[in-house]
């Protein structure tokens, strides 16, 4: 169980302190899939750093299984937004580094079995010996997923894992992650900016309000049976309802935030652009009937 209790994170000197996150409360039950959705710049990455232990809260508490969290650790596998694979190691070696660190006493053959297992799980077994720069974005993200899974973490923290990918790769990877999670249940917190993705994958969706001083608004529960079929999703009334509801909520947030911004209005000078168009009848005639104009 993962808990955030009244957490705030602020940066800057005391005289000019900016609260990035304010009064955050979140409880993630065991084996639950929670998605945190928010706009870019709202502080999503700070939130996941908080959960991973990379960032300490300025005030409040982060609890894991009821105990205060003390720094990062392999029990909370963090999958980074920009892959963070070590570029001088092959895919296999990246996974190996994770396994060797978490299971230092494992025998050589066990380690290689495990590498094979996880690399196969993310369908990268054909590219195990390749270096990250030889892989596409989607393959890199899968390698990163394999490395995170190899830690055998209690909690899986996914920091916008799919936002850098194209739509097709993205849906493929969504299915893969869901598949892996369903076969081997564990606690997952996923950060995303895609409403569809959140509704498709999560049990619960916590919207992050606009920063600065972002906090978590009332959550949406996803009451959809699993496995969720991507093909019939658009006909699923619950999916459509949630999607609309969340989208409207998020758009409302955006609007509120814009209203909140107290930028003074700058009056624009009262001028009209001058018309530089040539008074040539020819040109007007040509454009009148939507004729294809050829470049002179």
In the bound state with another protein, the residue whose beta carbon lies nearer, of 69 and 242, is: 69
Extract the tokens encoding 162: 């799919």
d(CA 248, CA 146): 35
Eight-class DSSP state of 295? P
Q: Would the CA dihedral through 101, 56, 45, 67 be positive or negative?
A: positive
Stretch 171-190: interaction string toward another protein, x if CB under 8 A: --------------------
Concatenating the DSSP letter of every residue in 158-174 gives EESTTTTS-HHHHHHHH
**List 26, 151, 216, 222, residue binding another protein (CB under 8 A):** 151
d(CA 162, CA 64): 26
Total site size for another protein, rule CB under 8 A: 24
37 strand-pairing partners = 192, 207
Is residue 102 a contact point for another protein (CB under 8 A)? yes
Helix (H, G, I), strand (E, B) or coil at 52: helix
CB of 74 to another protein, least distance (A): 6
CB of 204 to another protein, least distance (A): 24
In the bound state with another protein, the residue whose beta carbon lies nearer, of 117 and 131, is: 131
**List 1, 63, 97, 224, residue binding another protein (CB under 8 A):** 97
Euclidean distance between the first and the last CA atom of the chain, given in angstroms as a whole number: 69
**List 5, 27, 32, 72, residue binding another protein (CB under 8 A):** 72
Segment 3-42, which members bind another protein (CB under 8 A)?
none
In the bound state with another protein, the residue whose beta carbon lies nearer, of 59 and 82, is: 82
**List 82, 129, 179, 256, residue binding another protein (CB under 8 A):** 82
In the bound state with another protein, the residue whose beta carbon lies nearer, of 138 and 207, is: 138
Extract the tokens encoding 175: 């299915």
**List 35, 95, 98, 155, residue binding another protein (CB under 8 A):** 98
CB of 54 to another protein, least distance (A): 6
Provide the strand spans (E) within 82-241: 155-159, 187-192, 204-207, 220-221
Q: Residue 148: phi, psi to the nearest 5?
A: -65, -45
**List 133, 231, 272, 274, residue binding another protein (CB under 8 A):** 133
Is residue 88 a contact point for another protein (CB under 8 A)? yes
Is residue 73 a contact point for another protein (CB under 8 A)? yes
Strands 33-37 and 187-192: what pairing? parallel
Give the burial string for 186-224 (b: 16+ CB within 10 Å, else e).
bbbbbbbbbbbbbbbbbbbbbbbbbbeebbbbebbebeb
CB of 143 to another protein, least distance (A): 13
Is residue 54 a contact point for another protein (CB under 8 A)? yes
Stretch that binds another protein, among 87-95, 118-126, 181-189, 233-241 (CB under 8 A): 87-95
Interacting residue ranges for another protein, rule: CB under 8 A: 52, 54, 71-74, 76-78, 80, 82, 84, 86-89, 97-98, 101-102, 131-133, 151
């Amino acid at each position: 169980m993962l808990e955030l209790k009244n957490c705030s994170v602020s940066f800057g000197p005391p005289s000019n302190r900016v609260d990035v996150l304010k009064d955050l409360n979140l409880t993630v039950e065991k084996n639950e899939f929670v998605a945190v959705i928010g706009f870019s710049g709202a502080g999503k990455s700070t939130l996941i750093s908080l959960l991973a232990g990379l960032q300490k809260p300025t005030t409040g508490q982060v609890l894991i299984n009821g105990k205060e969290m003390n720094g990062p650790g392999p029990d909370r596998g963090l999958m980074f937004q920009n892959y963070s694979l070590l570029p001088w190691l092959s895919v296999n070696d990246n996974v190996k580094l994770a396994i060797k660190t978490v299971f230092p006493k494992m025998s050589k053959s066990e380690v290689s079995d495990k590498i094979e297992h996880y690399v196969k799980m993310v369908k990268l077994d054909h590219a195990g010996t390749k270096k990250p720069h030889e892989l596409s974005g989607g393959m890199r993200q899968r390698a990163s997923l394999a490395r995170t899974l190899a830690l055998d973490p209690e909690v899986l923290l996914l920091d916008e894992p799919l936002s850098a990918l194209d739509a097709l790769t993205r849906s493929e990877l969504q299915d893969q992650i869901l598949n892996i999670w369903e076969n081997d249940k564990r606690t997952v917190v996923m950060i995303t900016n895609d409403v569809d993705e959140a509704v498709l994958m999560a049990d619960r969706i916590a919207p992050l309000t606009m920063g600065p001083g972002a906090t978590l608004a009332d959550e949406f529960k996803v009451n959809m049976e699993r496995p969720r079929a991507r093909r019939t999703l658009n006909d699923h009334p619950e999916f459509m309802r949630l999607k609309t509801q969340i989208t409207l909520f998020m758009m409302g947030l955006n609007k509120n935030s814009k209203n909140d911004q107290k930028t003074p209005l700058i009056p624009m000078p009262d001028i009209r652009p001058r018309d530089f168009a040539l008074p040539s009848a020819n040109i007007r005639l040509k454009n009148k009937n939507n004729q294809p104009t050829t470049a002179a």
